[in-house]
Structure 1
Amino acid sequence: MRRRLPSSAPASTITVPTDSTRLPKGGEDMLRLWLKRIILLALLFGAIGGLAWYNVETSASGYDSIVRLANSRKQKADYDRLFDESLAKSITVVFTEASFDALLADMLAYFEQYGTYQDNTMQKVDIVYADGEGTSFTLREVGFRTKSNTSRNLPMTIDWRGREIWHQTSFQLQFNATFDYAANTNEYSVLSDREAFNLDQLNFEFCKTVGGEIDEAMISESYAYKLYRRAGLDLSNASYGLVYFQVGDETIPYGFYTYIEPIDQNFLKRHFDGDIARQYGDLYKCTDTSGIADLGLDFIAKAGINRNAENVRFSYALKNNTNDGTRTTHDALASLIDTIHGDAFSADIAAVLDVDAFLRYLAMGFLIGNTDDFRFNLNNYYLYFNVYDGPAYMIPFDLDSSLGVGKHQDLSDNHGVYYDLFPSTDAANPLVENVLAIPANRTLYLDYLAEFTTLYFGFETFNAEYTVAKSLYEATLIAENHLGNQLFDLRNSEWYFTEKANQVMTKIAAAPSE
């Protein structure tokens, strides 16, 4: 505080320096220097104090500081760590009691209105990542929602005795969710560009029981993704680990989950070239949501932009380039479908489809035996149309019915092991049939089958990864009484790999030469 002289002070108390009372030569400069230093220190400590006050005030009022919302970690290193199968990992999803209650209330309200739990409202959570190398970090204000078209359920219900019953469900974390922050706020600016693990989102799938079967090997879906990548295809990376839910003070060991990279704009940037303005081509998620995604001529009514809040979803759901939800044209998709059903298929198909990648997809898909895919069930694939010249690239996803387990169309219950190489479809599929009717494509398809069977499709490699996963997780799953399957078992895996490989190689040898 600046001191002031009393009004009654005698004038004699004010001393005016004379030559004899002036500072020594150079002393005035030194005094000015010290005064500047004092002023700078005062400003510095004032700024520090102000920032501390701001953090205390914002924390007390329920808002994290902007620094706490940012993620300054090395993204590529965290991505590699997340998808390292040899590393034990866990992710804890931390709810407040209010946010978990809101999740249940929103899902129940959606079910009451639409008869399904497919509510996509993002709830605010924190997450804690930890792994066997001692790496641990927390990320604040992450978006959480449940996911899946057919197996989505409430994560917790109350039974007739009033007890909490916990259920596994698939879910998604969104690291760049902005919630209700206004676009002109610092929070919005930080969150909208935030990534974790070099991703905008991360998907989590649990081992489902289908037709009385469960993947006791636990790693099959993740391994199926790996086999496709080894075949030279661009698709999601995947790994696995434990999940915990924390609601208030209660921690729920939530089970063993497959961690899956989503197919989104971030994925396109990682695997495909954009144009000069860094724009990318159309991306469609293709499922049997509003009818089979068979690439038939009736596609128009089944193509569009999902409106999840209204329970409106399309079999060919456009995921980008939506013009803020107003776009109604699908020219690239229409061109592909017209070619599939046109008279000049052989001459025109290479202009609208990456045929080599499609043949790799068919060959490895036949080995994996996922009969809930495009080839066998006209389901579960993405189509990406290259931004420059338009050829479609097919990307498989949802591989939980693979490698001898899961729902399937094979009525013999042999998971497609004894299927013929041609035509091997369970429903009319003009694209598969037309592509494999071209002699050069048939030859290349058989070559890929032989190559992939010989190089990648061995039980020994699968068993080695299974053994590591079992050693990393089984004891913890049992000791902590996690939800879902706790005991690892190879089930029919050795038979599936061995018999499938033998059948494929025998049928290749017997296939007529073109």
Structure 2
Amino acid sequence: MLNRLNLSSSHTLSKTLRRNILVITLGSLLLLTACGGSDSSIDEEVVEDIIAEIPTDTSTEITDTDFVATDWTEETHSKNVDPNFEEVFDDNQVKRLDFVVTEERWQSMLDDMTATYGEFGQRSNNNGLIDSDENPIFVPADVYYQDTQWYRVGIRFKGNSSLQSSWQAGILKLSFKLDFDEFEDDYPQIDNQRFYGFKKFSLKNNFDDESLLREKVASDVFKKAGLAVSNTGFYTLYVDHGNGPEYFGLYTLVEEIDDTLIETQFTSDDGNLYKPEDGGANFAEGSFNEENFEKKTNEDDEDWSDIIALFDALHDDTATTAPATWRENLEAVFDVDGFLKYLAVNGIIQNWDTYGRMTHNYYLYNNPETSKLTWIPWDNNEALQEGKQGGALNLDFSNLDSSNWPLIAKLYADDVYKTRYNDYVLAVIGDSFNTNSMQAAYDSYSALIEPYATTEISGYSYLESSNDFYNAVEQLNQHAQSRAEAVEAYLNSQ
């Protein structure tokens, strides 16, 4: 009698192929019976088992879960290694990433965007921004870097106004979020998968930046000034969603705050990390709302007492009645020096899309070593220019509305803090934003990325011609000089 067949454990056969084999096998058994073979009696139980094996749903041709992670090594894919910053964030190279995603999954990403923001390449009816609290969907994709494969990496589109503006303008050079073990529950082979020790990244599209340098350079300046900030690097991106690799353009890879930054730039990553947004994120008196301070760590611990303590200290009456006591209480819960240094850097480089103009694009981390909330800048593609919507803040905050932006206005109104801020302004313009060093950085970086920036493809670029790139770089050089003059004028007025 024929041996029983067990095809259900096959790792390489599609459902359709398995079905065909089973049908053929059943047919062969029936043929043997009809021909009166030496053993023509067929075990009915065997036949029933074979019939049960025939799939009724043959829509999936490939068993997506059946693969072997052959490129996996401890150094490249494991969680058990320190993040390799030299490999991933190399200031002297433009590196390449490739995404390979099935046509169906890519289409699901586009369909999700259409459902949220309308048809690709069409403006909304009111020409305004659509308010959506939902992030775009994640799908699994394979990521390739230097001939090495990372498996079923979660990728999704990312961004707020920049994402919608690009989509409606018909530009497919969209920013991405990458999470290397997003789908580990579906694919046990990628449990705790990492990219040289990193779990996730933002891949920024340099939206509305014809120089393609601002995100990178702003991060460099903050870092040189001694502030906690994401590491960044230049990457080209190619996406294969069914028709071979397509050049999506030059991107900036950005380290995620809630991944390796708090782990490597602080003594511990056990503290509360917040991503403030909207409403009370301006720290106006009485405006605290838990929803405006989303927790990125310790999410299950419903305790916002450190943020509340900052609100209370900031708005205490001792700010005017007993300034020394006010400063002591504020510095017990908030890294004031770090914030004043941030204000100096942010004011000199100019960045309108952050606190002082907008209630977003910063993080707060409760440093376990000091128990103080520390300010961390984020999303700097709009920096290094005067800016939009009223432009960047002046270096002099005397006329800033203290009811809307008290964290700046109240500190600047205090003579001790104002003097400390002015000292940081002088230090930054003499070192981390020194005109000569900035112009040298612009020359070096622009030469590095020029071949990739000037060959971006229409529909995947914010450049209309290569001249846009060269003109934008020249504007950055002029900006560096003008900011030195602005600092000089400001300090002379004090």
TM (norm. structure 1) is 0.72
Mapped partners of 2:103, 2:218: distance in 1: 37
Q: Is 1:467 aligned to 2:443, yes or no?
A: yes
In the alignment, is residue 281 of structure 1 matched against residue 256 of structure 2?
A: no
Identify the residue that residue 359 of structure 1 maps to in structure 2. 340
Cα deviation code 1:57-81 (max 9, x no counterpart) = 6997333545337453356685313
Aligned to 1:442: 418
AA at the equivalent of 1:197: Y
* Distance of aligned partners of 1:217 and 1:72 in 2 relative to their CA distance in 1, 3 Å threshold: same
Q: Secondary structure at the match of 1:409?
A: coil
Pair 208,351 (structure 1): closer, same or farther in 2 beyond 3 Å: same
Counterpart amino acid of residue 407 in structure 2: L
**Could you tell me which amino acid in structure 2 is paired with residue 293 of structure 1?**
A
Summarize deviations over 1:253-312 as a string: whole Å, max 9, x none.
1112111111104322112223xxxx6111110123xx3611134444x423xxxxxxxx
Q: How does 1:114-513 map to 2 (within 5 A)?
A: 116=132, 118-130=134-146, 136-153=147-164, 167-178=172-183, 180-181=185-186, 187-188=187-188, 191-209=190-208, 215-274=209-268, 280-288=270-278, 291=279, 293-300=281-288, 302-304=289-291, 315-323=292-300, 327-344=301-318, 345-387=326-368, 389-404=370-385, 406-410=387-391, 419-423=394-398, 425=400, 428-479=404-455, 481=457, 483-484=460-461, 485=463, 487=466, 488-489=469-470, 490-511=473-494
Match of 1:37 in 2: none
SS in 1 for 2:69: helix
| Bigger mean CA offset, 72-81 vs 348-357 | 72-81
Q: How many angstroms does 1:338 deviate by?
A: 1.0
Distance 2:156 2:331 in 1: 39
Matched residue type, 2:182: A
Contact preservation (8 Å) 2:398, 2:413: no
Task: Report the Cα distance in structure 2 between the residues aligned to 1:139 and 1:469, rounded to whole angstroms.
Answer: 29
**Alpha-carbon distance between aligned partners in 1 of 2:74 and 2:285, rounded to the nearest angstrom:** 49
SS at match of 2:374: strand
TM-score, normalization by structure 2: 0.75
Which whole-Å CA distance do the structure 2 matches of 1:329 and 1:81 have between them?
38
Larger Rg: 1
- The CA deviation string for residues 64-115 of structure 1, in whole angstroms up to 9 with x for no partner, is 5453374533566853132222112121111111211221233334558x97
- Deviations 1:134-182, CA, capped at 9 Å, x for gaps: xx4221110001111222249889x9xxxxx65221111111212552x
**CA distance in 1 between partners of 2:281 and 2:62 (Å):** 52
Kindly state the Cα deviation for residue 252 of structure 1 after the two structures are TM-superposed. 2.0
Mark the CA change 1:82 to 1:457 in structure 2 (over 3 Å): closer, same or farther: same
Partner of 2:107: 101
Q: Is residue 236–residue 250 contact of structure 2 (8 Å, CA) maintained in 1?
A: yes
Q: In 2, distance between residues paired with 1:292 and 1:335?
A: 14
User: Alignment length, in residue pairs?
Assistant: 410
Shift of 1:382: 0.5
Query: Match of 2:364, SS?
Result: strand
Equivalent-residue separation in structure 2 for 1:476 and 1:66 (angstroms)? 34
Matches within 5 A, 1:61-76: 61-68=63-70, 70-73=72-75
The answer to whether the 8 A contact 2:274-2:293 is kept is yes
Q: Per-residue deviation at 1:223?
A: 0.4
Structure 1 residue runs of 5 or longer lacking an equivalent are 1-52, 131-135, 160-164, 182-186, 210-214, 305-314
Q: Distance in 2 between matches of 1:337 and 1:494?
A: 40
1:337 CA drift (Å): 0.7
In structure 2, the CA distance between the partners of 1:217 and 1:390, relative to structure 1 (3 Å rule), is same
CA distance in 1, matches of 2:210, 2:243: 31
Aligned CA distance change for structure 1 residues 101 and 231 (closer, same or farther; 3 Å)? same
